[in-house]
């Protein structure tokens, strides 16, 4: 089975996406981890790891970032035939952009970005990304454009082939 992440905030967002507007972002900023907005589940305050790990309602769990690891996440990921990470190089929604490929800000810093392969999550294989990468199952694609605004050519040449392998089932 193949899993395709199209511009997903896989390792979180550090600010409210501007397309939500000033009013929604103002509500979000009041209770970033529990505002009742989908972006709250993906918020990661890179300046306060303790609060993030304690307060995150989704991301810290699904990325196995807490001290107690869920082995089932790793086992499920290693069953994939391909895990495709698609990044929009001009994305104005997912900030920082490297989150689309599991990178993020370095904890406690505003200027240093950590790539996927330099992250503790990859190096310690918390959800199986390193295993998939070593097996040639991790695919990273990118396109020039904004959030989920790819060309028909990119879609048909780069994405659709992952849907057509008769030996894999889709999830």
pLDDT at 6: 97
CATH class entry, domain 2-163: alpha beta
* pTM of the full structure: 0.90
- Please give the chain's pLDDT, 171 residues, in tens: 999 999 999 999 998 888 888 888 888 888 889 888 888 899 999 999 999 999 999 999 999 999 999 999 999 999 999 999 999 999 999 999 999 999 999 999 878 999 999 999 999 999 999 999 999 999 999 999 999 999 999 999 999 999 875 554 545
Q: What is the pLDDT of residue 115?
A: 97
Domain boundaries, the chain: 2-163
Helices (H), the chain: 21-30, 38-42, 49-55, 59-62, 71-78, 120-123, 129-134, 152-154
Q: What is the SS3 assignment for 141? A: strand
pLDDT at 107: 94
Give the helix, strand, coil percentages of the chain, each rounded to 5: 40, 15, 45
Q: Which residues pair with 43 in a beta bridge?
A: 13
């Amino acid at each position: 089975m193949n899993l395709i992440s199209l511009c997903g905030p896989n390792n979180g967002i550090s600010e409210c996406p501007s397309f939500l507007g000033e009013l929604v972002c103002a509500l979000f900023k009041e209770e970033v981890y529990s505002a009742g907005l989908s972006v709250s589940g993906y918020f990661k305050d890179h300046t306060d790891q303790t609060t993030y790990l304690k307060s995150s309602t989704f991301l810290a769990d699904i990325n196995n970032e807490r001290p107690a690891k869920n082995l089932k996440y790793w086992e499920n990921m290693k069953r994939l035939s391909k895990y495709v990470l698609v990044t929009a190089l001009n994305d104005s929604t997912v900030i920082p952009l490297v989150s689309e490929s599991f990178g993020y800000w370095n904890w406690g810093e505003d200027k240093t970005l950590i790539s996927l392969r330099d992250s503790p999550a990859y190096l310690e294989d918390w959800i199986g990304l390193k295993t998939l990468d070593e097996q040639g199952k991790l695919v990273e694609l990118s396109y020039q454009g904004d959030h989920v605004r790819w060309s028909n050519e990119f879609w048909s040449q780069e994405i659709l082939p992952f849907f057509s392998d008769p030996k894999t089932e889709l999830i």
